[in-house]
Each structure stands twice: as C-alpha cells, then as structure tokens.
Amino acid sequence: MTDTSRRVLSRRVSETRAEDTSRLIPEEVPVALVYDGTTHAVMMATPADLEDFGVGFSITEGIVSARDEIRELEIVEHEKGLEARMWLVPEAGRKQVERRRRITGPTSCGLCGVDSLEAAVAEPRRVGRTATTSPAEIQRALGAMSPAQTLNVATRAVHGAAFWDATAGTFAAVREDVGRHNALDKLVGAVATAGLDPTKGFVVLTSRVSVEMVQKTAMMGAEIIVAVSAPTALALRVAEEAGITLVAIARSDAFEIFTHPERITLAAQTGDGDRQEVLPHVLAR
C-alpha cells in the first residue's frame, strides 16, 4: 500500500542564515470510489484507512444506509492511484444505477453527484435527541485530540476527525486526511464498521465547519459536533434544521455553542450538590 507520508529535502531560511533540512509531508493520491464496476467519483485523499473511506463516503452520500449494504470491499492499487471497489446488495445497487442515470456531472468534495442547486442544500437528515455532554468532557476530548493525530504530529499538514466515546471516556476512532471531508468520511466508516452508537458520544473536528461537514455528521447520526474552527452561516442553519448541537471555536479554556445548546449540561454552582444545569434552547441566527 502507498505510504502515507514521505521525507523531502528543503532549505530553512531566516533573515540571517540558510540551512538544508528535511521534513515529512503527507502523500495525496487519487482514490476512485467504484460501485459494482462503475466509478462514481475520484477524490484526492491520504492513502490510509481507505476501507473506512469507502464505507463512510457511501453512507454520507446516501448510496447505502448501513455498512451491511456493501457486500464486498477491496482496495486495488494502480500506478497512479487507488480504487475502493465496492459491491452492493441488489437493492442498493439498483438505486445506485438509477442515481447515476440522473447525474449530469459530479462536482467537488462534499457534493459528489449533485445535479441541482436544490440538491446541494437539501433538507438534512434529522438526528435524535438522546445525546448529552458536559464542558469538562469536551475539554478532555480537545486535550486528547492533538496527540491522537499521529500523521499530523509528523507532518503538520492534515485534518482530523474523531469520535469521542462518552461511555469509555476516550476516542473510539481517529481518522486523518489531507481533505477534511475525507477525514470525516473515514470516521463515519470506522464508526459504522465497528458498530458504534453515534449518539453515545460526539464528533471532534480540527477543521472549519462547512455545510457539508454538518450534512455528513447528520447522515452518520451523531448529535453533537465539536470543532476547533468557526462554522459558516449555512452550516449553522443546516445544523439547526438537523437538530445537531454545534460547538465551535473550541479552545482549552472555552468554546462557543451555536445551535441546540440544551445537550450541554453545566456543573452546578458551589453549594448546589450534584445538580446539573441544562442550557436552554436558542435558535441560531
């Protein structure tokens, strides 16, 4: 399998000196998503966890609704890239053929196979209302995120997406990629393949939160997103509609809640015992 990074030579230059050095940089290769022998899309991606990528992409794009609708999956390496070859169960295969007939031309990351403006911002899948978490748990997850990103520690050049397991108090899965959408797709695939309940924790993202990231999380079924960067206005509107709690601009000392804050429970003030305060619901502007 293709390496995920390689060491290259460079020259470090300051105001007064120059010196030869080297560093690790991530690989980026074309990965074709192939269903029943027909290519659906080609994405530029980090060549790691590609089985998870294939499963996650299939779920977030609505090609399948569950992992078991993919009968077989294999990664095939070519000289100039890789293929994630998937064979679907008959019903999913028929739906995919019909979908291909409607496609006028695939577009870029997050909108593969979209053929109209209405489809680009379609009504999102609504998530459930069972997940809760606390500021302390969010802070623990944020503190654990950087060291868990092994490829980013080495290269400082990839995005991360992780699922914090609230029951275990640790990450159940961490996935990385040069593309933020790819990293999230890989995470969705890892969670689905492991049979994890996406409502028993939350998604952590190291990237900005665009509308596609919210749409993919909704397709995953997770109810809470925690991101280190800011969201777009459209991402907020879609998160509100999907019922997702969107926490962003998350730092070691504080974070901001933009939608559905009722899932975040605050510790009671001194003297209140073990009582928890649930933040009231407010609409995103």
Residue-wise pLDDT for 237-282, tens only, equals 999 999 999 999 999 899 999 999 999 998 765 455 555 666 665 4
Residue-level pLDDT at 116: 66
Residues 118-122: contacts with CB under 8 Å, at least 24 apart = 121/211, 121/234, 121/238
Q: Provide the pLDDT for residue 193.
A: 98
Beta-bridge partner residues of 76: 83
- 104-112-217-70 Cα dihedral, nearest 10 degrees: 100
| pLDDT value for 285 | 44
Whole-number Cα distances in Å, 91 to 64, 69, 74, 88, 235: 10, 9, 20, 8, 32
Predicted local confidence at residue 106, as pLDDT: 43
* pLDDT less than 70: residues of the chain: 1, 103-116, 268-285
Could you confirm whether 112 is annotated as catalytic?
no
Evaluate if pTM is beyond 0.75: yes
Tokens of 104: 């006028």
pLDDT of residue 245: 98
Q: Classify burial at 177, counting beta carbons within 10 Å of its beta carbon; exposed 0-12, middle 13-18, buried 19 or more.
A: buried
Q: By the 8 A CB rule, do 113 and 33 touch?
A: no
Considering 24, 103, 109, 154, which one is annotated as catalytic?
109
Per-residue pLDDT at 121: 77
